[in-house]
Structure 1
């Protein structure tokens, strides 16, 4: 027997469930592809989600499956019946959108009524006992519940804010992706260590900002980064009711109401009475939140699917599907970053790393992500389907997004990020990456 054959034999064992040969996973989980034995051995110790979060998760799974059947494949073109299904989806989205807007106007109307009533009591009833005091309280309450404009995050140690002058080649790439998608670029880019990426707006004029978490960015190949950007700019192009000023502000106000009315630990009769008195308003607010979730979550998930389609057109279906796979290794990447932080604090590693533990951190993270074998990705895809993995409760389940991107004939890419241009973008990000890495290893 040759040494190679012996190694292959010792690297396998029989599945205790079905008897099929099972390859040893090494540092990864050993599992059976035939019967899914040990595919999800992790015992999760998670807090039980609240009532609103349970509704979100249930609706996310339900709507994700419905929309997967409704929408056309991004690479293969329209599926049979897709035109009719798309028309029905658009009709439902329109009706639900109008109801959501009406509910949002009602929520904001309460805030306006509180402000108007407070002003009337304060000014019109001045000198009439406690009425002006009540008016001041209502005005303060209206101020707390008002819709707020987001602010651009500050440039701090754990994050860096870049402007076009700071990273011209990065912003040139962003403008190219935005133009390909059919929308405008961003005013700023926020860089931090998170395993995440998103787009938002800030200020009264709602300037656009892109958030890039290096934990995710460095785990991606150059073409998968184009897919990520195509997806994020796709949100600007397709829109999302939940992120609008009207409906998003209503969610914000209802969340504030819910926080204010939340029951407090009761130790006295007065505290018990206060919790009892707020029970009915609290149920009303919860009902309004659930209703607004029903009215907007389907359209929000549709926007995610459309953004995935935009990613596939921009970077190619293969890169977009690869991005979905990378989303599944978020815990592994977070673990690698924690180990880097611990190693820096305890001086574990070679002499060079003791001198500057931040040096080469992102390269090591990229190597870690690249070392994950396909067998482990297949296991994570199956686990995601079992658990209903989502980026968050507003996203369709990840396995459904991956399935949609991989069925049909893969499409080509409108933008290809070659090695030379990828290096130029990395050079623009180099200083920001060093700063975030230094802060990360100090934690």
Structure 2
């Protein structure tokens, strides 16, 4: 599945680049593939609903036979396959509007520029990443900021990053929506339940053979759903990049792309920092005050990466088809799209006072995440 996704990501990325370049200003849209994906996702949920209803009928009407046992099995399976609602992380710092008023004011301003609304919470993590999602039954919005990325960006690049992520709300990203996203999770659960036993006994070998057909069917449906949604997801990434350029400027959005190309260098730096501390401490988790300068050292490391290395990574990206993950177009194609479109100035700016306020509001989360990284957690 991963190999298929990466192959399709590169194939669609190249064809979409020509399409969106000719199209000019990008706008959200739903095509026939999106409608088919929605119908297929509803069919997947229909199977779960059928298991629930069938299990209830077997349990209530099948007394005196072995049917209640089968009904209980159907009910347990339906429970495992039920739609899930994400929760806020309990082991990471989570900021609310009262905790970081300046950060949320900036997010609201960028959201208004993008054409959407802000978020209800901000989760702060250590990874070289950023994302948006929803949580809870009411589908509240949460923005996840990875300090490994955030701390290596300039002010305009941070605005571009927020514009990109909030742009996913504006362009109607269906892959992670309630219906299609939960359908993908249900199919992944089916694949887990039907996974063959390793080194099977004779009885397990028979069960593996019986599972072969339904397992193949589930994998096939998941591949079709991937195929139907991947092109729209990649088009959404190009559209989100346009929002990034509109909010932070084309130059900042292109600079953000260059930062993504050297993500491995940042990850290696964080690992070296953590390992060096544990080596000095004899493997203990006591970090002292060493963690307090982690983000400054990380930003300084990023500044030492020469332009020649960025250029090398851009060329390697063109050869390897580098992308953030299988749902993103290759990074060099995204960068090309930004450079071929009209050059945009920054619609949202950040003065010194705002930068200082943001730094103060994130200070507690920065220290907490730095301690975890330096302690190897």
- Of structures 1 and 2, the one with the larger relative CO (CA 8 A, separation 6+) is 2
Q: What are the superposed Cα offsets for residues 177-214 of structure 1, whole Å, 9 maximum, x if unpaired?
A: 11111111111100011111000000111000000010
Q: What are the superposed Cα offsets for residues 287-323 of structure 1, whole Å, 9 maximum, x if unpaired?
A: 1011101111000101110000000011100100100
Report if the CA contact (8 A) 2:287-2:371 is conserved.
no
Q: What are the superposed Cα offsets for residues 52-101 of structure 1, whole Å, 9 maximum, x if unpaired?
A: 112111111111111111114xxxxxx4xx27x979x95xx421111111
- 1:53 alignment partner in structure 2: 2
State the superposition RMSD in angstroms.
Answer: 1.8
Report if the CA contact (8 A) 1:70-1:86 is conserved.
no
Of 266, 277, 281 in structure 2, the residue corresponding to residue 333 of structure 1 is 266
Aligned positions of 1:403-414 closer than 5 A:
403-414=336-347
- 1:99 alignment partner in structure 2: 36
- 1:20 alignment partner in structure 2: none
Structure 2 residue 84 is the aligned partner of structure 1 residue 148: yes
TM-score, scaled to structure 1: 0.81
Deviation, 1:267, is: 3.4
- 1:285 alignment partner in structure 2: 218
- 2:306 alignment partner in structure 1: 373
Deviation, 1:408, is: 4.7
Q: Who wins on radius of gyration, i.e. which is larger?
A: 1
Of 35, 58, 61 in structure 2, the residue corresponding to residue 121 of structure 1 is 58
Structure 2 residue 295 is the aligned partner of structure 1 residue 362: yes
Runs of 4+ deviating beyond 6 Å = none
Report if the CA contact (8 A) 2:287-2:375 is conserved.
no
Report if the CA contact (8 A) 2:13-2:333 is conserved.
yes
Q: Following the alignment from structure 1 to structure 2, what is the Cα–Cα distance between the partners of residues 375 and 67?
A: 28
Give secondary structure in 1 for the equivalent of 2:165.
Answer: helix
- 1:415 alignment partner in structure 2: 348
Report if the CA contact (8 A) 1:199-1:233 is conserved.
yes
Q: Following the alignment from structure 1 to structure 2, what is the Cα–Cα distance between the partners of residues 409 and 178?
A: 21
- 1:221 alignment partner in structure 2: 154
- 1:319 alignment partner in structure 2: 252
Q: What are the superposed Cα offsets for residues 14-50 of structure 1, whole Å, 9 maximum, x if unpaired?
A: xxxxxxxxxxxxxxxxxxxxxxxxxxxxxxxxxxxxx
Of 398, 406, 425 in structure 1, the residue corresponding to residue 331 of structure 2 is 398
Q: Give structure 1 stretches of 5+ with no counterpart.
A: 1-51, 73-78
Aligned positions of 1:39-438 closer than 5 A:
52-72=1-21, 79=22, 82=23, 93-128=30-65, 130-154=66-90, 156=91, 159-347=92-280, 355-438=288-371
Report if the CA contact (8 A) 1:215-1:333 is conserved.
yes
Deviation, 1:169, is: 1.0
Deviation, 1:420, is: 2.9
Deviation, 1:240, is: 1.1
Higher helix share: 2
TM-score, scaled to structure 2: 0.95
